[in-house]
Structures are given as structure tokens and as C-alpha cells.
Copies of this chain bind each other. A is one copy, B any other.
Amino acid sequence: MTAISDVARLAGVSKSTASRALSGRGYVSEATRRRVVEAAADIGYIASPNAASLVTGRTKNVGVVIPFVNRWFFGEALEGMERTLLSANYDLTLYNLAIAGPERDRVFDFFLARKRVDAVIAVGVDLTDREVEVIQGRGKPIIALGGTCPGAPRLAVDDRGAARLATEHLIDLGHERIAHLAGAGTGSAARSVQALRRAGFADAMREADLSPVGESDGIVEAEMTLPGGYVAALQLLGHPATRPTAIFAASDEIAFGAMRAAERLGLSVPGALSIVGFDGHEHAELFGLTTIEQFPRAQGRYAVDAVMRLLGETTGDADPLTPDGLPDFDRPLETRLIVRSSTTAPSTKSLVAR
């Protein structure tokens, strides 16, 4: 392993000068700089990040805490973060977090507590006060992308408002028998993504003087996956008598499952059942799913930009900044309603049926 002393010797300078030349910090004459850089290239020198970290206290590594990798939103966000970090010469260390339990504690108390990451980004996880504290207490910034993060900056779409909009779309089409396939665990954290979307649904219904319709009082919780949506929709649509004419699903994956359930039950979409999802999944277009589009890949990029700023790195500029150069954490991330063929006005038949 070649060390910086080898470079220095070859270039005929001291280690200090070699270090300055290579890092670009401190004064070095252009001539020596060039000589050092050349020497380094000659022997294939690459600085040891450990040694540098030890003295600078910076690791150029960001920890990402994420509950799933294999769900669309999370995978996209992760890829967005990874690419952005890489181009900023940062590493991404992945912590695939279980919902709770000793494994989760170990991530915070051991892995993240060590001096191995400069900051952490938590994606779609509801952090406890303690978890936030243990990171911040060690002087590291933590930011949340979706999920909740008491006392720390949070980047998120307006889940409640967007869910309300999705529901209003259904109401606007003339539906009055509307159900919600909620994300499982809406009760756990009040500001969790699932809970906010459910609240947005409730907002719209209340405003329109409507009550949810369907089995289980028109609200069934589903695991946020296609099979989860399938199972829940089967339950929701079981009884013909209580069947809704429209569903707002808390995620596109749930919505796809609901579409599959409708097919299984012989209910045409949108003829007999309108479905609106949430996410803008890459399959949504192909399946004609009306949805609230969000942009997790861009969100990942944006979260990294924010963290870079918190770390005092001057990267390329992200979009919306407050005067202090930080992103505006209060401004919700972009979403938009995309209407496709899975939603339409309720059929006369179903209107009569009611």
C-alpha cells in the first residue's frame, strides 16, 4: 500500500506539502502541486479515508436508514440518494431498518452512534425522540424523508392534502360510496405517512358530508404491497350490498392489488369500480391508474442536497432555498394528480343500486 510519504518522496517534498497539494487546502505553488499530483498518479496513490477521518473528524459517508428496499418508493429514493452522494464523493452506508426491536436499537446505539457517518437520512421511518437524540447528541445532522422525525428537519410531500385531493377527485366525479384502503399501522404514529393519508381522506369525506362505505366501515388497512392490497380489497369488496363504487388506496401498490381483486370479483375498472392510488409508480401508466404522483428519486436527490448543506459542503444548487442556503423544510415536496383510466363517474346502475 502506497502512502502519502511515498508520494512526497517521489515528488521531493514533505508530507505536509503533498497533503496540501492533493487536498487543495492551503497554499502550494502551482509547480509543486503539479509535481505532487503527477507523482501520486504515477504510483496509484489513493488516500486512506480512515486516516483522514481520524484527524478531520469527517468521514464523507452518510448513513441511510430505510425500512424497505424492495418497495417502489423506497427503491427509487435510495437510488436517487446513492447517485447524488456518489457524485459528491460521499459513500452511502445502508441500514435496512426493522420496524422495531433489538435489531433496530442496535442500528442506532451502535452502528449510527460510532464515528462512521457524518449524517443520517431516515427514509419513511417514524423515529422516536430517543433515536433522534442519540444521533444529534453526537453532533450529527439527521433529516427525515417522509416518516416522522421529532425535532429534526423533515422533507415530505403534503400527504394529507394530496390524499384529500385524491378523494375529492372521486367525489367530484360523482361518487358517494367511497372506501379507503389505508396503509397498515395508521394508529401507531399520528404523523406517519399512512395516518396522514387517512386523515386527508377523512377531511374530504367530512367536507362533502359523506361517510366511507364498504365492509369494516369503508376503511380497511392493508400492508403497503400489491398482495396486501389484494387481500384487503377482497375483504372490502366482499359484500355486494355494502360495496363502494370508488376506492382511494394509500399507495399505488395497494391500488394494483385492488385492481387485481376487482378483476377476480368480476368488477370492471372503472366501470363498476374507480380506483385512485398514491405514488406515481412506474407501472401506473401501463395499468391506467389514476394517482397522486410524487417523485421519490428526485426526493432522494433533494434530501442529499439538504444534508450536504447541513454539513457545509458546497454542492451544485438544489432548488428552493431559504436565505440561509438551506432548503425550505416547511415547503412540501411536489405532487400532482394524474388522471388516467381507472377513475370515472359512477355508472347509472350503481347509482340506482344505492
Query: Which residues of A approach B to under 8 Å, CB–CB?
Result: 1, 46-51, 53-54, 59, 61, 68-70, 72, 75-76, 78-79, 82-83, 86-87, 89, 91-96, 103, 106-107, 110-111, 113-116, 138, 225-227, 230, 257, 260, 282-283, 286-287
Cβ of B59 and Cβ of A69 under 8 Å apart? no
Cα A46 to Cα B287 in complex, Å, equals 51
Q: Which residue of B lies closest to A225 (CB)?
A: B282
Partner of A92 from B59, B72, B93, B114 at Cβ < 8 Å? B93
Instruction: Report B-chain residues with C-beta under 8 Å of the C-beta of A106.
Output: 86
Instruction: Report B-chain residues with C-beta under 8 Å of the C-beta of A93.
Output: 61, 91-94
Number of copies: 2
A86-B107, A92-B93, A286-B260 known; A114-B47 Cβ under 8 A: yes
Instruction: Report B-chain residues with C-beta under 8 Å of the C-beta of A115.
Output: 1, 48-50
A-B contact pairs, 30 of them (CB 8 A): A46-B110, A46-B114, A48-B54, A48-B115, A49-B114, A50-B50, A50-B59, A50-B115, A54-B54, A68-B79, A69-B69, A69-B79, A69-B82, A70-B75, A70-B78, A70-B79, A79-B96, A82-B94, A82-B95, A83-B96, A86-B95, A86-B96, A86-B103, A91-B93, A91-B111, A91-B116, A92-B93, A226-B283, A227-B286, A260-B287
Cβ of A46 and Cβ of B113 under 8 Å apart? yes
Instruction: Report B-chain residues with C-beta under 8 Å of the C-beta of A257.
Output: 286
